[in-house]
Structure 1
């Protein structure tokens, strides 16, 4: 009987912690997937990177506009920011070739990797913001 009560207490404690984590604004991300996608597009537009698509180089504004145009065409089929990165912002739909970003130091990485890292930062920041 005593073991059963201890189990109930542990289960209730764990359930309470989980409820707190999900409902507390400083612990749970309060951004919608649409807001995350918009933030990714903003990060692209405000960056100082060179975006490489189809072997051609584009500035941040052009890159952001291109990604927004692609997103608007298939918006109803994109449910998450991860899907946006995977299906819109990582490669050419027609050629299947990856998009790249080049940093000021000359280093070049695939845009999907770079955007996935930005998304993790967005989610981490959203997790820990205190509502005003």
Structure 2
């Protein structure tokens, strides 16, 4: 009986059951927005590493050698693990580990699929701003 009454009320209100669920979900979304400020610094760094991995068709250049994006991300992950006690934030990760080689001092660069060459640190700074919603 309750079910019949529920559907009758929902129908009178102009909702189909699916619309009712969708309305409830959208209401939750507006009252509890997902905020990037809830991301930990480790999560932000993970997102930056995944961003590098996802640079399809790009070539990463380190100390004059070319690497695919996955190799570049793996290299930076190793550096991250080695320097975990010194690097606590995503900004520090970019500045101290992902901008230039600690061996040669040369900037890491990325040759994009369109041929444009950009510094990896600059690319990651832009991506971090996007992640943080700035």
2: distance between equivalents of 1:27 and 1:98? 33
Pick aligned residue for 1:33 from 38, 41, 53: 41
The alignment's TM-score, normalised by the length of structure 1, stands at: 0.72
Structure 2 unaligned regions, length at least 5: 1-31
2: distance between equivalents of 1:57 and 1:25? 41
* Distance change (3 Å), C-alpha of 1:83 and 1:55: same
Q: Which has the higher contact order (CA 8 A, sep 6+)?
A: 1
* Distance change (3 Å), C-alpha of 1:36 and 1:93: same
Per-residue CA distance 1:17-68 (angstroms, 9 max, x = gap): xxxxxxx754561101010001101111121121000011100110010000
Residue 131 of structure 2 corresponds to residue 122 of structure 1: yes
Pick aligned residue for 2:55 from 47, 58, 65: 47
Matches within 5 A, 1:1-132: 26=34, 29-48=37-56, 49-124=58-133
Larger radius of gyration: 2
Structure 1 unaligned regions, length at least 5: 1-23, 128-132
* Distance change (3 Å), C-alpha of 1:71 and 1:116: same
* Distance change (3 Å), C-alpha of 1:28 and 1:92: closer
Q: CA RMSD in A?
A: 1.6
The alignment's TM-score, normalised by the length of structure 2, stands at: 0.71
